[in-house]
Amino acid sequence: MSYLSYINPTATSPWHTYLAQVDRVLPYLGPLARWAETLKRPKRALIVDVPIEMDDGSVQHFEGFRVQHNLSRGPGKGGVRYHPDVNLEEVMALAAWMTIKNAGVGLPYGGAKGGIRVDPKLLSNKELERMTRRYTSEIGIIIGPQRDIPAPDVNTNPQIMAWMMDTYSMNTGSTATGVVTGKPIHLGGSLGRVKATGRGVFVTGREAARRIGLKLDGARVAVQGFGNVGSAAAELFVGAGAKIVAVQDHTGTLANPRGFDMAGLMGTLHRDGGVGNFREGERIGNEAFWDVDCDIMIPAALEGQITPERANRMKAKLVLEGANGPTLPEADDVLHDRGILVVPDVICNAGGVTVSYFEWVQDFSSFFWSEDEINVRLDKIMIDALKKIWDTADHHKITLRTATFAVACERILIAREERGLYP
Ligand code: NAD
C-alpha cells in the first residue's frame, strides 16, 4: 500500500479499502504491474470553498470536492454526493472505484467523483440551488463534456443535474447538455437513467443467481438503502417473483418474512422520503438487519457497512453491492470463506454509469433512443461484462471483485502504457 501525505486513512476508511483491493490484484497484472502506482494516486484533486447566502440573510460556507482519479481511458466520469460525511479521502476512493467500474464494463471513461460536505435536508430548495450553482462554477475549471462529466449520487437528482448543466452553460456561453448526465428527460436526459443502476444490480444479480443455482422465484431479499438504487432493484426482483423480507433506510429497519407489499412500500417512500413508518411488518433494531434470514442481500446505502463481524452473521447466499464500497476487505475474506458469493460494486452497480454513457452519446448526436433500446443495450453490456469477469475469476480461482479489478486494471494500464508518459 502507499499513502499520500495529505490524507490519513484508517483501517476502515474507503481509501484504505480501495488500496487493499488494488494490492490484491497486483499478482495478476504481469509486467503491467510496473504501472500500478498510477492506480494508487489520484491524478487531480480540487477542494473548493462554496459560500452561499442563506434565506435568513446569513452566509454559510460549505466544503466541496472534485477528484479525477485516472483519465488514461477518457474523460472523467462519476457522481456528485451531498452528505455531511463527505471528505477528500472518501471522494478519492469513490473516484478510484469509478475508474475501475468504467474500465470493467468497457466504457471509454476515466474515473472521477465529487461532493459537498453538507446535509441537504437542512437546506431550503433555493439554498440547495445556490449551493449547487456556486459549486458548479467553482469546479467549472476542470469539468466539461470532453473533460469530466458529473452525475447523480447520494442525495443528488435530475433537478440538481439541471442546475449544474445550466450553470456550466451560462459560464461557457452555450448550452452544453453533455456536461452532466442524469438530467431531466427534456433537457437531454436519457430514458431509463433513473432506474438504470437498480436495473444493473438486478441483471447482474439474476445472472449470478442462475450460475449458483439460486431461483429468483420465491427468493428472499433484504435491502439496505431504499433510495434510487435500492428501491429500483427491489421492484425488479419482486417482478421476477422474489420477495423483499427486510428493508433498512435512514428512517428505520423493517422485517416481514412473508414479503412486503411493494406498491405500499413505494407509496410510503414517496410520501415520507423513507420507509421506516410503513404499516406492514415488524420494526426491528438497525443492527438486527444483518441477522435477517434471506437468500440475497443488497447493500445499497453507504460504504463500510459489511464489517467482518456482520459478515460472520449474515445468512444470505448472494450479496449484490448496489452501494459503492459497502464491504471491508477483511469482511470480503469472511464472506468468501463462508461460501457467500459477492457481486462487487465495480460491476454490480455499473448500470447507472452505463446509461449515463448512453445519455452522453445521445446528447452529442442530439438523437434519442427509446427506453427499450436503452434497456436492451444496458442488459447486453452488463451480461457480457459479468461473463468476462466470471471467466477471469474461474481461470485464476479468485473472487469476482479481484477478477473485476484484474480485467479493469489491465485495460487501464494498457492504455497508460500505449499513451506513454508525458513529457
Ligand atoms: P439515495 O440518496 O437515492 O439513497 C440512499 C439511501 O440510503 C436512502 O434510502 C437512505 O435512507 C439510505 N441511508 C442513508 N444513510 C443510511 C444509513 N446510515 N443506514 C441505512 N440506510 C441509509 O442514493 P442512491 O443514489 O440510491 O445511492 C446509494 C448507493 O449507491 C451509494 O453508495 C451510491 O454511491 C451508489 N450508487 C449510486 C448510483 C446512482 O446512479 N444513483 C450509481 C452507482 C452507485
Domain of residue 167, CATH code: 3.40.50.10860
- The one catalytic residue among 101, 113, 183, 317: 113
CA-to-CA separations, 306 to 224, 232, 289, 326, in angstroms, rounded:
11, 21, 11, 6
- Tell me: do 341 and 254 sit in the same domain: yes
CA–CA distances in Å: residue 28 to residues 69, 91, 385, 392: 22, 27, 18, 10
Residue 280 phi, psi (nearest 5): -90, 160
* For ligand 1, atom 37: residue with the closest CA: 153
Let me know if residue 25 belongs to a domain: no
Q: Which atom of ligand 1 is nearest to the CA of 229?
A: 26
Q: Flag whether 166 is in a domain.
A: yes
User: Is 102:411 a contact under the CB 8 Å cutoff?
Assistant: no
Helix, strand, coil fractions of the chain, as percent rounded to 5? 50, 15, 35
Q: How far is the CA of 250 from the centre of ligand 1 (A)?
A: 10
292 with 315, same domain: the answer is yes
113 is catalytic: yes
Is 277 within 8 Å of 247 (Cβ atoms)? no
pLDDT (0 to 100) of residue 1: 77
Residue 80 falls inside a structural domain = yes
Q: Which of 102, 250, 270, 298 to mutate to test the pocket of ligand 1 (most atoms within 8 A of CB)?
A: 250
Q: Identify the pLDDT of residue 11.
A: 87
Same domain, 209 and 226: yes
Question: Atom of ligand 1 at shortest distance to CA of 196?
Answer: 40
For residue 298, the domain's CATH number is 3.40.50.720
Looking at the domain assignment, is residue 8 inside a domain?
no
Q: What is the pLDDT of residue 2?
A: 76
pLDDT in tens, the chain (423 residues): 778 999 999 988 999 999 999 999 999 999 999 999 999 999 999 999 999 999 999 999 999 999 999 999 999 999 999 999 999 999 999 999 999 999 999 999 999 999 999 999 999 999 999 999 999 999 999 999 999 999 999 999 999 999 999 999 999 999 999 999 999 999 999 999 999 999 999 999 999 999 999 999 999 999 999 999 999 999 999 999 999 999 999 999 999 999 999 999 999 999 999 999 999 999 999 999 999 999 999 999 989 999 999 999 999 999 999 999 999 999 999 999 999 999 999 999 999 999 999 999 999 999 999 999 999 999 999 999 999 999 999 999 999 999 999 999 999 999 999 999 999
The amino acid sitting at 315 is K
Q: How many Cα neighbours within 13 Å face the side chain of 412?
A: 34
Centroid of ligand 1 to alpha carbon of 253 (angstroms): 15
Strands (E), 190-321: 220-224, 243-249, 252-255, 282-284, 296-299, 318-320
Which atom, in ligand 1's list, is nearest to the CA of 352?
Answer: 40
Same domain, 144 and 231: no
221 & 177 share domain:
no
Which residue among 187, 213, 242 closes a domain?
187
Q: Are 80 and 139 members of one domain? A: yes
CB half-sphere exposure, 15, CA atoms < 13 A: 22
Same domain, 53 and 177: yes
| Domain end among 286, 316, 348 | 348
Nearest CA to ligand 1 atom 28: 301
Domain co-membership, 49 together with 181: yes
Which contiguous run of DSSP H or E holds residue 116?
Answer: strand 111-117
Examine the fold and report which residue of 150, 169, 187 is the final residue of a domain before the chain moves on. Answer: 187
pLDDT given for residue 3 in this prediction: 85
Number of domains composing the chain:
2
Run of H or E residues at 409: helix 400-419
How far CA 368 is from CA of 11, 74, 187, 401, in Å, comes to: 45, 23, 12, 34
How distant is the alpha carbon of residue 211 from its chain centre? 24
Distance CA 2, CA 36 (A): 11
252, 255, 299, 287: which is closest to 272 by C-alpha? Answer: 252
Give domain status of residue 399, yes or no.
Answer: no
The reply to whether 88 and 178 lie within a common domain is yes
Residue 269 lies in a domain: yes
Q: What is the DSSP letter of 327?
A: B
| Ligand 1 pocket mutation pick from 91, 202, 228, 253 by most atoms within 8 angstroms of CB | 228
Q: Flag whether 47 is in a domain.
A: yes
Cβ atoms of residues 334 and 311 within 8 Å: yes
Distance 228 CA to ligand 1 centre (A): 7
Q: How long, in residues, is the chain?
A: 423
Ligand 1 is surrounded, with C-beta below 6 A, by 152-155, 197, 224-230, 248-250, 274, 300-302, 322-324, 349, 352
Residue 266 resides in a domain: yes
351 CA distance to ligand 1 middle (Å)? 15
Closest atom of ligand 1 to CA, residue 345: 44
170-177: which pairs have CB atoms within 8 A and are 24 or more residues apart? 171/137, 171/140, 172/140, 172/144, 176/144, 176/145, 177/363
Output phi, psi for 17, to 5 deg.
Answer: -60, -45
For residues 160 and 218, membership in a common domain is answered with no
Dist. CA 183 → ligand 1 center (Å): 18
Dist CA 372 CA 180 (whole Å) = 23
Helix 88-104 with 14-25: angle, nearest 10 deg:
40
Closest residue by Cα to atom 36, ligand 1, is 323
Radius of gyration of the chain (CA): 20
Q: Residue 155 and residue 117: Cα distance in Å, rounded?
A: 11
Cell numbers describing residue 125: 430548495
Q: Could you identify the atom of ligand 1 that is nearest to the CA of residue 350?
A: 43
Ligand 1 centre distance from Cα of residue 149 (Å): 20
Domain that holds residue 164: 42-187
How far does residue 176's CA lie from ligand 1's centre (Å)?
Answer: 28
Mark whether 166 and 302 lie in a shared domain: no
Based on the fold, state whether residues 107 and 247 are members of the same structural domain: no
User: What is the pLDDT, as a whole number, of residue 334?
Assistant: 98
Nearest residue to 307 via CA among 283, 284, 286, 290: 290
Q: Is 61 exposed, middle or buried (0-12, 13-18, 19+ CB in 10 A)?
A: exposed
Is there a contact between 149 and 181 (Cβ–Cβ < 8 Å)? yes
